Chains A and B, each alone.
Chain A
Amino acid sequence: MTWHVDDAAARRYSAGTLDDIGCASVEAHLERCDRCRALVAGAATDVDLALLASVWADIDDELDGPRPGWIESMLHRIGVDEATARIVAATRRARWGYLVAVAASVALAVLAWHADDEPGLLVIFMIVAPIGPLIATAGSFSWADPVIGIIRATPYSALRILLLRTAAAVVPAVALTLLAVPWLLDDGWVAIGWLLPSLALVSCALALSSWIPLERAVVALLVVWVIGVVIAQQRIDAADVRTVADVADFTESAGTVLQVVSLVAIAVAAAIIVVRRTAYEYREV
């Protein structure tokens, strides 16, 4: 049986003479009953009906509107606009990508902590550290976004979405590692030596994705990076380095080259992205 507000209750509610329990019942009912809203509004003599309608429309709109998740809320708090925050946080898969990237960074910090006593672990750290942001990049767009087909036909820049989501994946991972690793490791410079190669890999993936799908670009670069590190490992073995200091020496000499190459790669990739920006908006594949 459906209960409705009767005339007497409506009059007393409007006049403010209804007891607290009665008020609570009436208000709970008004949330879902247009008829009784009209009745209560009609019983009131000093209510601005236009204002009332507008308030109800606002409430309805708030109920319709999206409830931001934790990533979106966090972005709002640091001043990111609504549209950008929604685009960054939209896909669940991308969110997993960000979480994996951050979790990997924490794991790497722990690994680096132990690496102080174990040269082998330090090498593993150097292999793995740049890969987290790269994988998070792969998870940020393209195949990882089920709505990609619709997105490509909207006027919103696909390149902007790609860059926003990449930044959202890379920045927290890099920031966390930058904060944690130098603190845990004696030689901070060795620990953050991976940073430029990592950014170079991400930049190259973005640049390559103007020709081929992003996920393929990421896989190709992962293969190149692992092969490169294995070759470096063989050279370390050949040089008969045994201690952290030896590895650090090796990293310092070979690392300088790596850092310069990475910087050049970032610059070239950035140039490619700018020159080929149309290819992201109007895909040939």
Chain B
Amino acid sequence: MNGVMNGVMNGVTEHSISTRSLTKTYRGAPALAGVDLDIGVGITGLLGPNGAGKTTFLRIVATALAPSSGSVRLMGLDPGSADARPEIRRRLGYVPQELGLYDNFTAFDFVDYVAILKEHTDRRARHDEVRRVLGEVDLGDVRRKKIRRLSGGMKRRVTLAQALLGDPRLLVLDEPTVGLDPEQRLRFRQVISRQAEDRCVVLSTHMTEDVEALCDRVIVLEQGAITFDGAPVALAGLAAGRVWIDDRPDPTAIVSWRTGDGRHRMVGDPPADAELLSPTVQDGYLVLSGLHDEVAA
């Protein structure tokens, strides 16, 4: 046990997540194909299409799934070790993709239930911790309400509250903003960014705006492999000189759409006299996936 504790204590220089040649196959089909990653303190966003391996990767780093091969170290510890695994799980918060809650519980009861599973045995101390995390996600006032009476955004924040129990060093959030309206998404971002001061937050999302607003690092996964790893600005930079606006759509563009002012915004290879625009993360992502499609073709 001492070895386990020392591994964590000495883990100052170690990455929160470290994977080497990480693979996962389902019935022979690869979901992750040899992923090498080191992730430390801060917010890291995973982008990628459905089936790219984001959820599989997050389930593995949340210890909810064992890899098929390769190594994974979490806070310096091996989740494959029966001795180290409980210690990792005590220091880990996980919000799975599916919004699994007991609707007949109150918000307090639900988080209290997860606190029991996280080995908070002293009733009074546990209740204090439950009140703390519900306060962190701004749900203190509705803690005695049944979950079925809460809005979608509040339910999402209940799942985030349970992940914050015990002040975890590693937060794994699988599409935490899906299904939220713009205001709820902003509140959610606010809460997540508050958590990232001194811990590792890894989140997957379909929303490039989330990455732009929250993350200091973005990793793009496609077909189980990393196709980009860098700052959101660098991902946006992939589209530098490749985003333009014109009065007519250009059929050679990767994508084009009519904007509110009736002009057409396009991403791709612009003509020589094009009116160029500053690229966004979304543009960079489109260029990246467009490039891959071209290579695949």
Q: Could you name 7 residue pairs across A and B whose Cβ atoms are closer than 8 Å?
A: A90-B102, A92-B102, A146-B102, A147-B101, A149-B94, A150-B96, A152-B64
Which of A132-140, A153-161, A217-225 lies on the face that meets chain B?
A: A153-161
| Contact yes or no, A155 B100, CB < 8 A | no
Cβ-neighbour of A155 out of B62, B90, B95, B162 (below 8 A): B90
Residues 81-122 (chain B) with a chain A CB within 8 angstroms: 82, 85-87, 89-90, 92, 94-98, 100-102, 104-106, 108-109, 112-114, 116-119, 121
Extra A-B contacts (13), CB below 8 Å, given A63-B144, A150-B117, A151-B117: A61-B127, A65-B127, A83-B121, A91-B102, A92-B102, A92-B104, A149-B94, A152-B63, A155-B117, A155-B119, A283-B65, A284-B65, A284-B68
- Bound CA span A152–B117, Å: 10
- Chain B, interface size category, equals 35 or more
A154 touches B80 (CB 8 A): no
Most buried by B among A90, A148, A155, A284: A155
Contacts of A82 in B (CB 8 A): 116, 123
Question: Which of A66, A145, A148, A282 meets B79, CB within 8 Å?
Answer: A282
Is A76's CB within 8 Å of the partner chain B? no
Cβ-defined contact, B82 with A281, below 8 A: yes
Chain A interface residue count: which class? 20 to 34
Beyond A64-B144, A156-B119, A284-B66, whether A90 also contacts B113 by CB under 8 A is yes
B63 close to A153 (CB less than 8 A): yes
- Give the CA-CA distance A155 to B96 in the complex, in Å: 16
Interface residues in A142-187 (C-beta closer than 8 Å to B):
145-156
- Do residues B143 and A86 form an inter-chain contact, with CB atoms below 8 A? no
Given contacts A91-B102, A154-B89, contact A283 B66 (CB under 8 A): yes
Separation of A87 and B115 alpha carbons in the complex (Å): 11
Shortest distance in angstroms between A169's beta carbon and chain B's nearest beta carbon?
A: 18
- Inter-chain CA distance A83–B123, complex, in Å, is 10
CB distance from B277 to the nearest CB of A (A): 41
Q: Is A278 an interface residue (CB 8 A)?
A: yes
Q: In the complex, A278 Cα to B119 Cα: how many Å?
A: 19
Bound Cα distance A92, B116 (Å): 18
Contact of B92 among A86, A149, A153, A285 (CB under 8 A): A153
The reply on B131 being an interface residue by CB < 8 A is: yes
Q: Contacts A61-B127, A91-B102 hold; do A281 and B116 have CB atoms under 8 A apart?
A: no
